[in-house]
Amino acid sequence: MDASALHTPVMLERTLALLAPAIEAAAAAGRTPLVIDGTLGMGGHTEAMLAAHPTLVVAGIDRDPDAIRLAGERLARFGGRFLPVQTTYDRIDEALEAAGAEAADGILLDLGVSSLQLDAADRGFAYAKDAPLDMRMGQSGETTAATILAERSDRELSRLFKVYGDEKLADRYARAIVAARAEAPIETSAQLVDILQAATPRALANQGHPAKRVFQALRIEVNQELAILERTMPAAIDALAVGGRLVVLAYQSLEDRIVKRALQAAVASTTPRDLPVELPEHAPHLRLLVRGAELADETERAANPRSTPVRLRAAERIRPLTFTPATSPSRGEQP
């Protein structure tokens, strides 16, 4: 399987442009630049970065063993400049350890489900393809979409669909699922789609596929995506060298809200308002590189429909997280 033929990276040129100044500054200082690709997928972003910067090392994180294997094949020509790390992307410390580094010059997070997982017919991520209701990104752990549908009460399912899917028919769908499973286990995506379609009022049948938001909610719950992202954002900010840059691509509002909140906290001063001067230890430690969230342009949305919902946010580390003027700077930080 050719990974490059299966995957078109979202907002590739913009991502490269935002990370390039930090990579080039590290190289100009005589260091080996390090970028952590926290969501390796099939390696499209990593391949472009390695090709553009001849001394760059990229540590690529992915929990999915298939992604690690396919990306490894795609990036084999870069030798030791690519370091695969099979874990969840909140474990940035493991990527730093693999690279033998204390900090990174760039971190990229391309959130959500990958093209590999959506296109794999046997993983159950896509409602348009009949498959077992698995949805585990890492293919480990006991909780699958099928077990959630089998074990949760109608109230729990409804809340899940509302919170993680913003589904207006959450109560109706939850009751339909509980009624259907009393007759037979719900084990495949086609079964679930049939239940949801039958429960959708005829007047709403043409307002988008009824399974879209339910499948999204199940995927997020199975993989604990939002909980991991909540841990990832402070870990990523802390892992950046001074001058290092963080770029995050989010595809739905819950993800983007977590990213936005973490960046806003890092760019705000925490000096008490009644003090006449800003205390150094309370100064912002990031600066935003883009105003608000950037969208893919019309050309990219037409060529790559998966870029349509993306929201890009980016920031640069401007000082250490902890103000310690008496200590020596860590990797990549200037006194």
Among the three residues 180, 200, 223, which one is the final residue of a domain in this structure? 223
Overall average pLDDT of the 67-75 stretch: 94
Q: What is the mean pLDDT of residues 238-255?
A: 96
Q: Are residues 153 and 247 in the same domain?
A: no
pLDDT digits (tens, 9 = 90+) for 61-70: 999 898 999 9
110 is in an annotated binding site: yes
The verdict on residue 324 lying in a domain is no
Per-residue pLDDT reduced to its tens digit, 293-319: 999 999 999 999 889 999 999 999 998
Assess whether 104 and 243 both reside in one domain: yes
Residue 205 included in any domain: yes
Same domain? For 219 and 236 the reply is: no
pTM of the entire structure?
0.86
89 is in an annotated binding site: yes
CATH number of 193's domain: 1.10.150.170
Per residue in 133-181, pLDDT tens? Answer: 988 887 667 899 999 999 999 999 999 999 999 999 999 999 999 999 9
Considering the domain architecture, whether residues 78 and 150 belong to the same structural domain is answered as no
pLDDT of residue 107: 98
Domain that holds residue 263: 3-116+225-317
The total of structural domains in the chain comes to 2
Domain stop point among 223, 247, 263: 223
- Asked if residue 62 belongs to a known ligand binding site, the reply is yes
Q: Residues of the chain with pLDDT > 70: what percent?
A: 85
**Annotated binding residue 332:** no
| Residue 268 predicted with pLDDT over 50 | yes
Q: Do the annotations mark residue 37 as ligand-binding? A: no
Over the chain, what HEC string results?
CCHHHHCCCCCHHHHHHHHHHHHHHHHHCCCCCEEEECCCCCCHHHHHHHHHCCCCEEEEECCCHHHHHHHHHHCHHHHHHEEEECCCCCCHHHHHHHHCCCCEEEEEEECCCCHHHHHCCCCCCCCCCCCECCCCCCCCCCCCHHHHHHHCCHHHHHHHHHHHHCCCCHHHHHHHHHHHHCCCCCCEHHHHHHHHHHHCCHHHCCCCCCCHHHHHHHHHHHHCHHHHHHHHHHHHHHHEEEEEEEEEEECCHHHHHHHHHHHHHHHCCCCCCCCCCCCHHHCCCEEECCCCCECCCHHHHHHCHHHCCCEEEEEEECCCCCCCCCCCCCCCCCC
CATH of the domain at 252: 3.40.50.150
Residue 138, annotated ligand binder? no
Question: Is 72 known to sit in a ligand binding site?
Answer: no
